[in-house]
Amino acid sequence: MRDRLAMRDRQSHSLSLRSFTRRTPRRDPMLQLRSPPPATSSPSSAVSFPALPPRLLPLRRRGVGTPLGGKTSTAVRASSAAPGATEPEVMVEVAHREVARALASLAEARLGARLLPSAVPPDVAEFRSGGGAGNAVGSLDVRRGAPGSTIDFMLQSSLHCKIPNGAIDITSLLIFLNASTDAPHFLMEFIQGSPTSIVVLLDLLPRKDLALHPEYMERYYENTQVDKQREKVEELPQARPYRSRSLFVRSAFSLTAILMSIDCGQGGEGTLKEIVRGQLATAARALLQIWLDSCADHTTEMEEGERENMIKRDQIVRSKSIEVDLTSNLPRMFGPDVADRVIAEIQKAFGVQEA
């Protein structure tokens, strides 16, 4: 199955990969992922969707968060060093992780008992690449929604991977709803490929065909004025549109998605931090707030056919995103064994299983 997926991946993304490389080679941080263990020969696939959460990080107490923009710059050493290895990699603190943690805390505080306690095994909650110095560390946290709530799951992930000239840091926060509602999911992902550049993906992921359902678009995207946040980020002189190389991934996002690459150029470390803690944090918090206010509590009466359609759509989006993103990237970063464990856990959260 993995081989078949890899094959399809190779076939369907070769165009977009090539072209992205040609256009803005330095803008796609994932293209730097060339040296780590090549577990599959598929091309470095789309950056997007779920990557991984902050648990190796300052292990926050549940419900006690860092206020958005607060300073928590402790780098926490990963717990288990590979025996006989050189100094193992640690999860480095970067500005976008502070933002992600603060937002996760905000969501947890608001959702309260609607989130069940974390339920991932310890070797998935924190993991590192197998063998050698362990050049990659990651963490994953999944909290399922309580029975009777609209929440399907909240997934946080964080990933730090050393590469020849630096590191890639990916942080994600996903809050997905179940089939009791058609309201959009919340998605936030930061992919930082250097100290001066970052890709940000921020969206209320639609669960219906927006062209076929203008009333849905009006309710969640027009009336909430969510596009204003995109415009503000787009106004940054350092911002350029970011397009996933995968059309499948692109199709999952709304028309108002913030899909931007921010590049502050040489010497722009400080500027990037300011932007992350400033405009990006503000946009992310605004989007989360809109989601909490307009989506999270909302159950929807639907005809059975309509609900079935929505579930089918959700399943495709979830499967595709795992297939395109994780099954090609994670093995390269962490080796096949660790990647398998982590992917299996994400598949469980997503409610999709590898055939």
Binding site for a copy of itself (CB under 8 A): 12, 15-16, 19, 22-23, 209-212, 214, 217-218, 221-222, 225, 227-228, 231, 234-235, 241, 247-248, 250-252, 255-256, 309, 312-313, 316-317, 320
CB of 135 to a copy of itself, least distance (A): 33
DSSP string, 52-95: ---SSSS-PPTT--PPTT----PPBPPS-PPTT-SSPP-B---H
In the complex, what is the shortest distance from the CB of residue 53 to a copy of itself, in angstroms, rounded to a whole number? Answer: 25
Bridge partner list, 138: 127, 159
- In angstroms, the CA 3 to CA 336 distance is 13
Shortest Cβ 340–a copy of itself spacing (Å): 24
Q: Which is nearer to a copy of itself, 12 or 282 (CB)?
A: 12
Task: Mark residue 67 as left, alpha or beta (left: phi above 0; alpha: psi -120 to 50; beta: remaining).
Answer: beta
Given the complex with a copy of itself, which of 8 and 77 has the nearer CB atom?
8
- Dist. CA 169–CA 96, nearest whole Å: 9
To the nearest whole angstrom, how small is the minimum distance from the Cβ of residue 204 to a copy of itself? 13
Whose Cβ is closer to a copy of itself: residue 75's or residue 255's?
255
Nearer to a copy of itself, 157 or 256 (CB): 256
Nearest C-alpha neighbor of 273 from the set 97, 74, 29: 97
- 111 in Cβ contact with 138 (< 8 Å): no
Least distance to a copy of itself from the beta carbon of 7, Å?
14
* 167: region left, alpha or beta (phi > 0 left; psi from -120 to 50 alpha): beta
Contact by Cβ (8 Å): 157, 138: yes
Q: Which is nearer to a copy of itself, 263 or 345 (CB)?
A: 263
Q: Which residue has the tokens 């029975």?
A: 147
Separation of alpha carbons 291 and 150, rounded Å? 13
Smallest distance, a copy of itself to C-beta of residue 251, A: 4
Query: For residues 161 and 200, which CB has a smaller minimum distance to a copy of itself in the complex?
Result: 200
Within 8 A by CB and 6+ apart from 47, the residues are 28, 29, 30, 191, 199, 244, 325, 329
Structure tokens at 201: 């993906």
Q: What is the amino acid identity at position 250? A: R
Structure tokens at 190: 């930061």
Bridge partners (DSSP) listed for residue 260: 200, 241
Nearer to a copy of itself, 97 or 230 (CB): 230
Q: Closest separation between CB of residue 214 and a copy of itself, Å?
A: 6
Nearest residue to 99 (alpha-carbon basis) of 174, 197, 204, 173: 173
For the bound state, the minimum distance from the C-beta of residue 43 to a copy of itself, rounded and expressed in Å, comes to 15
Question: Of the two residues 123 and 308, which places its CB atom closer to a copy of itself in the complex?
Answer: 308
* DSSP E strand boundaries for the chain: 126-128, 136-144, 151-163, 166-177, 185-194, 197-205, 239-241, 258-263
Q: Nearest distance from residue 212's CB to a copy of itself, in Å?
A: 5
The residue (of 62 and 312) whose beta carbon lies closer to a copy of itself is 312
